Structure 1
Amino acid sequence: MTELELSVQVAAPPATIFKAMTDWERQGEWVFGTRVRVVAGDGESVGSEIDAVTFGVSDRMRITRWDPPHAVEVEHLGKVVRGTGVFAVKGSRFVWTERLDVPFFYPLVKPLFVLMLRRSLQRFARFAEEYR
């Protein structure tokens, strides 16, 4: 199991940050190479499922905690990506935490993965600050 936590300062109220981070269908606007859709439930409650396809790899997730405007926790259900993820709002910061059972090749892709997440968080800050 590996843990990764990244955050970014956002010039927006916590409720706006939360709404922006949980607008699943628009997540592709700030996460590189990703398309997301709600596949079960309403996407705004425990038990709902979303599928994020990043560079062709599906990452199906089930919402296990829904606590607006503070946090959403998901369980990764995929064959490649397994573990938990948390999207949290702490004041004016968006914090993305992943606790993953990683595949054997993770050490090879980790630098690119972390870079992609850092850039995505920078894009998220702009996305949330302009979110409507």
Structure 2
Amino acid sequence: MAVFRIERFTHLPAAEAWRRVTDWGRHGDTVPFTSVSVRSAPPTRCGTVFVARTGMGPLGVDDPMEVVRWVPPAAGRAGLCELEKLGSLVRGRASIDVRPTGAGSHVIWVEELRVRLLPRAADPLLASAGRRVFGRVLTTLLDD
């Protein structure tokens, strides 16, 4: 299983950083050839399902995810969102932790990823690519 961790510090208050990093549709705006559709009625909560589709035309991969833990930040308390990847090809978990700091907030994204057709020897390459792609996603989402 490929595991990667990304951290960003931002001047944004925790509530605003949380709002941005859990705006699932915006994730698709930052990853090339990817769109995200939310399959559940708003607002996001435990049980919300969304699908990231990466590809062109009929050639693509669906990455369905379900929110299994949803604790928004409040009154100086950190927020935590945990996702379960439900696809037949892409499996794993992700967590997004938003912690308030004196100067804004600290966002930590951890992903455990398994792609069914890839050998375990590809895990370091997959983790490296994940850090680059999702690092750019996080930077873009938190940018003003």
Tell me if both proteins adopt one fold, taking TM over 0.5 as the criterion.
yes
1:28 partnered with 2:28: yes
SS at match of 2:27: helix
Unaligned runs of 5+ in 2: 74-78
Query: Could you say if the C-alpha distance between residues 126 and 76 of structure 1 is closer, same or farther in structure 2, counting changes exceeding 3 Å?
Result: closer
Unaligned runs of 5+ in 1: none
Tell me the TM-score normalized by structure 1.
0.80
**1:45-100 per-position Cα deviation (integer Å, ceiling 9, x unaligned):** 11110001123211001110111131211111001111211112133222111123
* Among 57, 74, 84, the residue aligned to 2:93: 84
Structure 1 match to 2:80: 71
* Among 111, 116, 120, the residue aligned to 1:98: 111
Aligned identity (percent) is 29
- Computing the radius of gyration over CA atoms, which structure comes out larger, 1 or 2? 2
Aligned residue pairs, count: 130
Structure 2 match to 1:62: 66
Q: RMSD of the alignment, in Å?
A: 2.4
